[in-house]
Structure 1
């Protein structure tokens, strides 16, 4: 009888919070009087702003490509016809009109490679080869001069393809350089450490505009007569060197966060310096600094808009070319909202992916 009273029962699942709209509202928006006050203020602001935005952007908006209709509207509504009329100039810049299928194809190839790189089954050694082929194909299609493609000078490249190229190549080449600089700043060899410190402090002490200006206008003065380097290549090198300095400091912070016991354990089992870096310290450091790394990636993506000072028209610069048309220059707000949407989608995608990477890499660290 006693044995029956204390018989074990099957394990039960943990209690889950109620999944109702009312519970979510109470937990997230009305958990305290301060939360209630903030929620009510935000709701009141949204109720005041949203109707005005909707009326300007949708209700009174003009989607026709006729600038005369937009002029008659007198800014009481948005003129989205400007985007339709100037889309190819904004997206592809000054690239020859009849050849704009080429930057479109090159951009799709680059985006497909980026999507594959974000998918875990593609995290193999041959991914580097895939990237090399993708970048070579991108440049070959954009440049032409082979396989019957018309040659197009790099100063005519522009729009979103140029922004994508500067960002991807800049980050792809800056990351390994940043790792070496971060390791050099922690080196026991004073000459290497001093050089890395000098490099980082010099680069971080000047704005990117100065680096681009130097790469474009001052650097050619030091070259031998008759020898020249393409302006796009010079600008790309400037972006790589600038980005590498900031990434190096981020990675160095991750390396400093690793306990000294990790190094001692590696030395105890006989690992060399580079084996310790490759197998133990660097993977942990990169896992720690995923969020600040992505923040630098986003900053580099946004900073490509500065290349307009050297007559390379990226997405922002191409919009300025489009606004040079006197019939459409009054509708710059619609144009900047359009490219802001493109920037937001790209940056938000990087942000969401970084959160997924953090959860994936920290799966074994949760308690």
Structure 2
């Protein structure tokens, strides 16, 4: 059960210090960053610790766990958990705004984490994000419209946007430009010279034809039920935000941040200061944007292999040190294996994330906190059993 932010702030104001231990996922890291920035600005000394052993070692200092469970009842240990209505980041920024006032940038990040948590349904956001979005649209900071949620709509033609979209992953198309061209040429009657310039969602007949062909193709690969799930996630609201006179596409930003998170073991440390300065966001997304073309084919091959074999161990040599991008892709497809964690093979060892071991529920929290490392990576055997070294 979560504590209210009011209760937490009351205690840490008395103490003057708080430690934050976030789960390593995009929402938890952004929420911890918003807390870190705003509490420090208001004379509450705040630190972020990623090492789960800090939860076991906590004695007398107030600690906030974000999307992580307590192991025992401790007076000064608080939890803030995702409640399925709004992201933790939106919850934190909304209530801190009432107390201190938070930046427009923090509010934009909260919309991004709402997208990350798949809270934007056909009817729009239902929780706090709807209030934040109303403010940002009234100030012309964010615009949104229905469309295809392919990455890079502002920068690339349709073929390249589909090619580089990992969430939702489109089996048979993501990473395969020839097959994308073939599909589109069928839809527009073979006039391949205009494929790269057409905004297909602006033509209802073409959009419907595209979705029909896409559903038929996907059904052959992953079955009708799974194909329908992916098609439903492709079409929806697309969000464009203005930050420091730069225009960014929030659906793509969420994907690029997840790629960055997976590149290096300690990259979560940089993501959890993202709220401090928009330039950090621009630097991270630029870096991910520069490597995505190198990664997309290998990731696509690995995911297509998973679809065929259900083999839950992934290896992308010298490119990915963390499993999060595979976890997020398979979660978006509703294809995470029920009893096995997603494992990445790196540097001769098998690793999974702390969050994955909580998901499958094979070990208690105290054991996981004791044996997972300071980056919330857990060494496991090929079957996903934690190695208690």
TM over 0.5: no
Q: State the TM-score bracket (shorter-chain normalisation).
A: under 0.3
Relative to total residues, which structure has the larger strand share, 1 or 2?
Answer: 2
Task: State the TM-score, normalized to the length of structure 2.
Answer: 0.26
Relative to total residues, which structure has the larger helix share, 1 or 2?
Answer: 1
Task: State the TM-score, normalized to the length of structure 1.
Answer: 0.27
Q: Which has the higher contact order (CA 8 A, sep 6+)?
A: 1
